[in-house]
Amino acid sequence: MPRLFITAEDIRRSSGELVVEQGTVVTPQALEAAAAAGVSLVHAGGEPYSEPSPDRGPDAAQAVHHLPHLPEPPADLAGATGVVVTAVGKNRPGVLAEITGALAAAGADVRDISQRTVEDYFHLVLTIALGNAAEFEGFKQQMECLGGEHDYVVRVMHERVFRFMHRI
């Protein structure tokens, strides 16, 4: 097992070159001390020290398998990301076209749609599938820019939120 830390005290006791094992963390104070004392910190291969990724302990590797299985995505999504889009606001001609137009431009597949109007106001709920999970953030930003303060508000949420909250 490699030593866990190299501290400024360790640097003071060494000179020239100090070989840092893989997994050892050099403290910031030790880095400063090494720079001041002209001690070079290198890995066994000769390349300069770089901070290792954190070792989260023996449990971490198993952690993913230990999560008990709560409601998981339905089979028909086949790799797509389920997203729920809700819009609430004042009704006017062209609202639905604006929202669905933006969805079409983003290449989103509408799986379910429901809309109600109460007097001058509407609420719209769309369940959609997004082909590529990586697009989610951009898609969310794009959709939430629609509407405005006295017009309507769009909310984009991951379908998992609803699955966790409403399914046993």
Partner 1 sequence: MAPFTDQEILETVRMVELETLDIRTTTLGINLLDCADPDLESSAEKVYAKVVHHARNLVETADSIAADYGVPIVNKRIAVTPIALVAGASGSEDLVPYARAMDAAAKEVGVDFIGGFSAYVHKGFTRADDALFHSIAPALAETEHVCASVSLATSRAGINMDAVARFSDVVLDTAARTKDTGGLGCAKLVCFANPVEDNPFVAGAHIGTGEGETVLNVGVSGPGVVRSALARLGGEVDLLAVAETIKRTAFKVTRMGELVGREAARRLGTTFGIVDVSLAPTPAVGDSVADILELIGVDRSGAPGSTAAVAMLTDAVKKGGAMASSSVGGLSGAFIPVSEDQGMIDAVAEGALSLAKLEAMTTVCSVGLDMVAVPGDTPAATITGIVADEMAIGMVNHKTTAVRIIPVPGKGPGETVEWGGLLGTAIVQDPGKFSCQVLHKRGGRIPAPIHSYRN
Which residues lie near partner 1 (CB under 8 A)? 4-5, 7-9, 25-30, 51, 53-60, 63-64, 66-68, 70, 74, 76-77, 82, 84, 86, 111-112, 114, 116, 123, 125, 127, 129, 136-137, 140, 155-158, 160-168
**Shortest distance, CB of residue 104 to partner 1, whole angstroms?**
18
* Beta carbon nearer to partner 1, 46 or 76: 76
**Shortest distance, CB of residue 126 to partner 1, whole angstroms?**
10
* Beta carbon nearer to partner 1, 95 or 126: 126
32: Cα separation from own chain's centroid: 33
Backbone angles phi, psi at 86, to 5 degrees: -120, 145
**Shortest distance, CB of residue 59 to partner 1, whole angstroms?**
4
* Beta carbon nearer to partner 1, 46 or 168: 168
* Beta carbon nearer to partner 1, 40 or 141: 141
As to burial, measured by CB atoms within 10 angstroms (0-12 exposed, 13-18 middle, 19+ buried), residue 91 is middle
* Beta carbon nearer to partner 1, 102 or 158: 158
145, 161 Cβ separation under 8 angstroms: no
**Shortest distance, CB of residue 21 to partner 1, whole angstroms?**
15
129, 82 Cβ separation under 8 angstroms: yes
- Angle between helix 95-105 and helix 136-144 axes, rounded to 10 deg: 160
**Shortest distance, CB of residue 45 to partner 1, whole angstroms?**
22
First to last CA, the chain: 44
Q: Which residues have a Cβ under 8 Å from the Cβ of 97 and sit 6 or more positions away?
A: none
Beta strands at 17-19 and 40-42: parallel, antiparallel or unpaired: parallel
